Amino acid sequence: MVLRSLYISICLIFISACTSASNEIKSGPPETPEVLGENLFIMNCAACHGDDGKLGASGAKDLTKSRLKDHEIMKILKEGKNSMPSMKANLETKKNMDLVIAHIKKLRH
């Protein structure tokens, strides 16, 4: 009888350990601003600019060589330029635009 309740409590510990572990997986690692900026870039920009900013598809500029200031980049994101469409609908908020701008400036060299 003692053994049996011991067995049951061990099982319960296992079950609770497993459920809390799967909760962690569901919520995922905390998203840092850097990760958010990179994800936004990959989702909305990489098709033309490439993951590393160098692709240049459909006439896109090489972002590693770009030296535009933040407000100039912001204007392009909002209004688009030539074959680059406005990214306003994709990025939605100024905060997201700031995150993407911070990310593309890190691609520069």
Task: Tell me, by CB under 6 A, how many residues bind ligand HEC.
Answer: 24
Taking the C-alpha atoms of residue 59 and residue 32, their distance in angstroms, rounded to an integer, is 31
> Is residue 61 a contact residue for ligand HEC (CB under 6 A)?
yes
Cβ atoms of 103 and 38 closer than 8 Å: yes
Please, which residue, 7 or 92, has the CB nearer to ligand HEC? 92
If one asks whether residue 99 binds ligand HEC (CB under 6 A), the answer comes out as no
Enter the tokens of residue 51.
């993951």
Residue type, 5: S
Kindly state the smallest distance separating residue 106's Cβ from ligand HEC, in Å: 12
Q: How many Cβ atoms are within 10 Å of 97's Cβ, its own excluded?
A: 21
**Residue 100 lies near ligand HEC (rule: CB under 6 A):** yes
Q: Hey, which residues between 19 and 58 contact ligand HEC (CB under 6 A)?
A: 44-45, 47-49, 58
3-state secondary structure 22-50: HHHHHHCCCCCHHHHHHHHHHHHCHHHHC
Contact footprint for ligand HEC (CB under 6 A)? 44-45, 47-49, 58-61, 63, 66, 68, 73, 76-77, 81-85, 87, 91, 100, 104
